[in-house]
Amino acid sequence: MQINGLIYTFPKEIKLLIAAFIIVLSVGFYTGLLFVGETATPNPHGIEEQYLGNENNEDALVMKFKKSEQEMLTLVHNHILSMSIIFFLVGIILSTTKLNKQLKLFLIAEPFLSVLLTFGGLYLLWSGLLWMKYIVMISGILMTLTFTLSIVIILKQLLISKN
């Protein structure tokens, strides 16, 4: 079965459903990023401080305490489960777009690796592997970029006619 470019053949109702889903999903995804921006500074030190606390910094404007193991397990569990579903659904839709096979495979597979590295990395950072803050930051950026590129491709192909 040929699915490359199948998105162009979808009925208007299905295209509208997919577009609405992608737009609402994106609002939720980017709102989550805004929340991260509000709770942690977007740099390796800020990531470390968010999960390990800053009790030793007397000049801190906002006092943060090390997260408990329960908090960390809840965060990792919730994010890995929910984001795997998000990227599975986006991947299914993306698989129907007309796109270079290698780029498509990268955009489908990469977010799953980034989810594991980002949220598994946060747990490892919390456990004491301080260098994981760099992996968390890089994988989080890459996850966001692949999500953004995927939704742009999907929305563009939903809105244009078949070539």
In this structure, what token pair is assigned to residue 32? 């989550």
Rg of the chain taking only CA atoms, in angstroms = 19
| Count of the separate structural domains present in the chain | 1
The verdict on residue 1 lying in a domain is no
The verdict on residue 5 lying in a domain is no
Q: Amino acid identity, residue 49?
A: E
Given phi > 0 = left and psi -120 to 50 = alpha, else beta, which region is 5?
left
d(CA 66, CA 71): 10
* Overall average pLDDT of the 75-104 stretch: 97
Note whether 142 and 113 are within 8 A (CB).
Answer: no
Q: What is the pLDDT of residues 104-160, one digit of tens each?
A: 999 999 999 999 999 999 999 999 999 999 999 999 999 999 999 999 999 999 998
Q: Amino acid identity, residue 117?
A: L
The verdict on residue 6 lying in a domain is no
The verdict on residue 60 lying in a domain is no
d(CA 133, CA 121): 7
Residue 161 has pLDDT above 80, yes or no: no
Give the CA distances from residue 86 to residues 62, 72, 111, 115, in Å, rounded to whole numbers and listed in that order.
33, 21, 10, 11
Residue 22 has pLDDT above 80, yes or no: yes
Q: Report the pLDDT value the prediction gives residue 163, as an integer from 0 to 100.
A: 52
Could you tell me which residue, 13 or 66, shows the higher pLDDT?
Answer: 13
The verdict on residue 2 lying in a domain is no
The verdict on residue 117 lying in a domain is yes
The residue segments making up the domain with residue 71 are 11-52+65-159
Q: What is the pLDDT of residues 53-85, one digit of tens each?
A: 887 777 777 788 889 999 999 999 999 999 999
